[in-house]
Structure 1
C-alpha cells in the first residue's frame, strides 16, 4: 500500500465488536475532517476498500468476550493493512498480542483525538515492511501511559496481579534478569521504587493482568 501524501486526510476504518466504541470513536474522529475521513469498518475478510489505516479494538482478540479471537486482524494483516491497536489498559496482554500479530502502532482508550490521529498518521505514512515482532515496532507508533513500552506495561500488570519476578519470567518466556530490567525501567517511568507502590499506581490507573 503506497504512503499517503502529507497534505491529504487519511481514510480511516474502525473495527470493534462494540457499537458504543464504534460510535464514540467515529464521533471523535469526525471532528477533524482536515486530517481524517472516516470510512467505516473494514469489509469482510479484511477487505481494505481504499483505507489508509485501521483503528482496531484489541477487545476483538479476547474470545471469552464473544469475539472471534482476532481472525479479522489476521485478515487485515494478510491484506497488508496498516493497523493501529486500540489498547485497553486493564488488558495489556491483548495489546502485546495485537502487535505480535501485525499491528504497527498502539493508542490507549483514554487518548485524545489529536493523540490518536498523530499515531494514525505516523503509521499510515511510514515506510512499508519490517518484522512483526514488538521489539522492532517504532516507538513513535506507540502511545502508552508514561512512555511505557508494551512489555513494561505488561510486566507492571503482572506485578499488580501479585506475580513474583520468577512467575512473570515463566509467563513471558524470558529470564528473571530480563524481568528485573523491565521492572526497574517501568518503576523509573511511573515514579515509584517499591513493588507495593507499583501495585497502588496500577490500581489507580486501572491496570490489571489479563
Structure 2
C-alpha cells in the first residue's frame, strides 16, 4: 500500500518539483499539491491523506497553523519542509503536533526516509534544526535546564540528555551499553511521566524545563 501525500507550498516551482521527485518513489502517491495551509486542511478533511508536507510561510494559513488543525481534525501527519530554520516556527510547529521538521535543501533520499518514518509514527527532526534550537536556548537561558530531576531515574535522565543531543536509539544503545528495546521502554516511561507525545518534545523539555504540548 502506497503512502498518500499532499504537498502545500505557495511556490509552484517548488511544490511541482517536489511532486516530481517524490512520484519517482514507488512507495508514495502524491494525491495533490496546494497553495496554502487552508487548502491543505480542507483537502485532508475530505480525503484520506497519510502525510502532509507543509511549507511554513504561506498565505491565508501558514504551515504552523495548518499543522495544529490537521492534528486536531484529521489523521494526517504533518511534516514541515521549509527553507526557514527560524526558531519560533520550529518550536510552534512541534507544539502544534508536527511530526517532522526538515529543510528543503535536504537530499531527496533523506526526505523520503523522513516521510516513511513519520508515516510509521516516528518523529523526525534534522540535526541542524535541533542544533538551532539548542543554540538559541543556550544563548537565552545559558543552558540552565530546570526539569524536576526527582521525577526521573538516573538512567532516564541520561537518556533524555542524549536525546537532547540528537542521538538515535541505536546511538544511545551503543553509548549506554543497553539494548534498543530497553531504551524504548525508558522513553515510554519518560513520555508517560511528562505527558509528552514524542522524542522531539522530550529534547525540548530537557533543554527548557517546560512541557510543551
TM-score by length of structure 2 reads 0.56
* CA RMSD across the alignment: 3.2
- Over residues 101-121 of structure 1, what are the superposed CA-to-partner deviations in whole Å (9 max), with x where a residue is unaligned? 111112221111111111111
Query: Counterpart in 2 of 1:144?
Result: 127
What SS does the corresponding residue of 2:116 show, helix, strand or coil?
A: helix
Query: Counterpart in 1 of 2:15?
Result: 22
CA distance in 1, matches of 2:120, 2:17: 25
Residues 88 and 95 in structure 1, CA contact (< 8 A), matched pair in contact too: no
Matched, 1:82 2:77: yes
- 5 Å matches for 1:172-183? 177-178=144-145
- 5 Å matches for 1:57-206? 57-60=55-58, 66-69=59-62, 70-78=64-72, 79-126=74-121, 141-145=124-128, 149=130, 152-156=131-135, 158=136, 165=139, 168-169=140-141, 177-178=144-145
Higher relative contact order (CA 8 A, sep 6+): 1
CA distance in 2, matches of 1:80, 1:104: 12
Unpaired runs of at least 5, structure 1: 1-7, 61-65, 127-137, 170-174, 187-210
Matched length = 143
CA distance 1:75–1:90, shift in 2 (3 Å): closer
Residue 153 of structure 1: CA displacement? 1.1
Query: Counterpart in 1 of 2:42?
Result: 44
Query: Counterpart in 1 of 2:153?
Result: none
What SS does the corresponding residue of 1:96 show, helix, strand or coil?
A: helix
CA distance 1:48–1:85, shift in 2 (3 Å): farther
Unpaired runs of at least 5, structure 2: 34-39, 147-160, 167-213
TM-score by length of structure 1 reads 0.56
Query: Counterpart in 1 of 2:196?
Result: none
Choose between structure 1 and 2: higher helix proportion: 2
